[in-house]
Amino acid sequence: MVQVVGLTKRFGEIDVVKDVDLSVRMGEKVAIIGPSGSGKTTLLRCVAHLERPTSGYVTIGGERIGEKLVNGRWREMSDREIARIRTGIGMVFQRFNLFPHLTALQNVMLGPTRVLKRSRAEAEPLARELLRKVGLAHKAADYPERLSGGQQQRVAIARSLAMQPRLMLFDEATSALDPELIGEVLNVMRDLARDGMTMLIVTHEMQFAEDVADRVVFMDHGRIVDEGPPHELFRSPSHPRTQAFLRAVV
């Protein structure tokens, strides 16, 4: 589903992501952990081509995002072509970014009606179903300012799912939430994982990563320095830097 090949992203003089290779199979859940500033967000943004790699590339479902082969040479894709691939990728960030002037239901319906050109009659039942799935059927008519942070983030997840993505990217989806609201968002993510969604998850929630991920990737200074099944990586990390990180956070 995702293949990251020799990916480097440089900002100024610094390689924030350094020669990273990573693949995610269909239905697999991969958690990315590591210290702040280690390049996790930048890697995730490169997967969605929100950042253009300095070198290397990413494929989504076998197709390179950002470049295409024309007469035997790699050329930059147009914004429209990039947008087409991106419709298959759901993204949930730390900040919820709901449209404040739209209700929860309207936020969830916006992508299907505007981007996928579905009729309201088609889009609304699906949007209501997704709000039910994230436990917010009763909040459909509420505006974001009336919702808690956890509820807003759940609407943001429903909004991503409305585009029927084949891959979901989560970038510290619970970091901006008050502690008592984190669980409800993680539970929605757990349900999604159980439903078989392919997920790439940057998180500081180690217990969640351990429960949900098929594989955990530890990044440090822009590189993947360790990876493995959660029980191995968390219980008996072999790399000294992973050990030091886990000792500090757990």
Which pair of tokens denotes residue 112? Answer: 């299907």
| Region binding ligand ADP by CB under 6 A among candidate stretches 38-46, 114-122, 136-144, 229-237 | 38-46
For the bound state, the minimum distance from the C-beta of residue 153 to ligand ADP, rounded and expressed in Å, comes to 18
Q: Is 52 in the site for ligand ADP (CB under 6 A)?
A: no
Do residues 26 and 1 make contact, with C-beta atoms less than 8 angstroms apart?
A: yes
Do residues 245 and 34 make contact, with C-beta atoms less than 8 angstroms apart?
A: yes
Task: Count Cβ atoms within 10 A of the Cβ of residue 108 and give its class: 0-12 exposed, 13-18 middle, 19 or more buried.
Answer: buried
Q: Is 242 in the site for ligand ADP (CB under 6 A)?
A: no
Q: Is 203 in the site for ligand ADP (CB under 6 A)?
A: no
Q: Is 36 in the site for ligand ADP (CB under 6 A)?
A: yes
In the set 21, 23, 37, 146, which binds ligand ADP (CB under 6 A)? 37
In the set 18, 40, 49, 241, which binds ligand ADP (CB under 6 A)? 40
Q: At what angle do helices 149-161 and 104-114 cross, to 10 degrees?
A: 20
For the bound state, the minimum distance from the C-beta of residue 73 to ligand ADP, rounded and expressed in Å, comes to 28
Q: CA 62: distance to chain centroid?
A: 18
Which pair of tokens denotes residue 78? Answer: 């147009």
Q: Is 119 in the site for ligand ADP (CB under 6 A)?
A: no
Q: Distance (Å, rounded) from C-alpha 18 to C-alpha 79? A: 26
For the bound state, the minimum distance from the C-beta of residue 134 to ligand ADP, rounded and expressed in Å, comes to 25
The contact set with ligand ADP (CB under 6 A) reads 11, 16, 34, 36-42
